Amino acid sequence: MTEMVYGAVPSRAGEPVLPKWWRTVDKWSLSCILILFGIGILLGLAASPPLAERNGFAPFHYVERQAVFGGLALGVMIFVSMLGPIVVRRLAVLGFAAAFIALALLPFFGTDFGKGAVRWYSLGFASLQPSEFLKPTFVIVTAWFLAASQDLGGPPGKTLSFAITISIVLMLALQPDFGQACLVLFGWGVMYFVAGAPMLLLMILAGFVVLSGTVAYQNSEHFARRIDGFLSPEVDPTTQLGYATNAIREGGFLGVGVGEGQVKWSLPDAHTDFIIAVAAEEYGLVLVLIIIALYATIVVRSLLRLMRERDPFIRLAGTGLACMFGVQAMINMGVAVRLLPAKGMTLPFVSYGGSSLIAGGIAVGMLLAFTRSRPQGEIGDILRGRLR
């Protein structure tokens, strides 16, 4: 009925799935993801051999694993991007239930791998971080509730989405993983804002976040240590932030040269959390700016395409996915240049990590599915029709 009133873009009957996907997908965003993955492999060739040597593996052990996980992630991304929004939502609900249960059971069956935070399941041949898979499915489920709350006689979606968000944030904070907790809360806040939340409520929520941070600082040695290190006027050169800061400074505009960087020999997480420091030292500011431009292109193009979408669920879910994707990249790079406290967060599609890569493929696949061109009139057509 809606398409009868507002008109629709004609679809091509009987068109095969693959040509239809290629015709409707955002090719710019897809290209940027592929380039980011290529950059990740390139930086992995520089950053991971020292770690492989320390752990007794072959020089390119971690690069080979990143290629395997990355290939799987890209395959999952393309598959998910071919699905329709309703199918994506149904699969996301099932995935959210599984990831939520896995997150709740972490204190009993999880491990910290000596890093002081119980965030992973050890599978022997690999590790699994439930929070990475929870994030994209959480966005879909909460967007579904928020969109349903706008219907006449709909469920109390805003209240339900807030309850889910708080429960996840509390579980993440207990690990402790304050970075992921803040990212989840941010994603929900963005979607709630787009859904029409009053500014007063968002200001109250911001005050609650500040209060929670104060309580965490007073009661968590892990959290307090990171905040103190961030606020200290001098950076200890023997810490991860110290090594990263020095590497970025040494890299300058064009870098010290391929393979000539030293930070990878000092940083234990040079191939994951601080991969941008390796990029800045060996390739300079030029590569860092290219990486920033790629992330910005994905986020901006996605938001522009979503602005033309008239389905509230797709708008909310796509906005949440795009903003969380961009903010995670911003947090990772912000930590490396000491604009933010250390968070332990990967750089999407660039950092090493099986859970991060595959979950990122799922998230971006969902985003590409929501930003595909569909046979419908755009929201601007509706507004123009109402003004006539």
Terminal CA-CA length for the chain: 20
Report the pLDDT value the prediction gives residue 3, as an integer from 0 to 100.
39
**Dist. CA 243–CA 328, nearest whole Å:** 21
Give me the amino acid identity at 53: E
Tell me what pLDDT residue 237 has: 65
CA–CA gap between residue 273 and residue 322 (Å, rounded): 20
Burial 290-305 (b: 16+ CB within 10 A, else e): ebeebbeebbebbbeb
Angle at 268 between CA 272 and CA 345, to 5 degrees: 30
What does the pLDDT read at residue 150? 86
pLDDT along the chain (388 residues), means of 10: 39 74 94 96 87 85 92 96 95 96 92 80 84 95 94 86 93 86 92 85 80 78 72 69 83 84 78 87 93 97 93 95 96 86 84 90 97 68 50
Tokens linked to 177 = 């993983």
Instruction: Collect all residues with Cβ–Cβ distance below 8 Å to 125 and sequence separation of at least 6.
Output: none
Which residue matches tokens 């898979």? 133
Q: Which amino acid would we find at residue 280?
A: A
Contact status, residue 308 vs residue 379, Cβ threshold 8 Å: yes
**Position 142, amino acid:** T
Nearest to 320 by CA among 358, 359, 370, 375: 370
In a 3-state reduction of DSSP, which class is residue 196?
coil
Cβ count near 224 (within 10 Å): 13
128 φ/ψ angles, rounded to the nearest 5 degrees: -130, 125
Cβ contacts of 333 within 8 Å, gap of 6 or more: 276, 288, 291, 292, 347
DSSP conformation letters of 323-341? HHHHHHHHHHHHHHTTSS-
- Dihedral (CA of 39, 43, 49, 52) sign: negative
DSSP state of 274: T
What pTM, to 2 d.p., does this model score? Answer: 0.88
Domain boundaries, the chain: 23-376
Q: What is the pLDDT of residue 174?
A: 85
Residue with tokens 């300079």: 284
| CB-based contacts of 114-119 (< 8 A; 24+ apart in sequence) | 115/344, 116/222, 117/175, 117/176, 117/177, 117/222, 117/344, 118/175, 119/175, 119/177
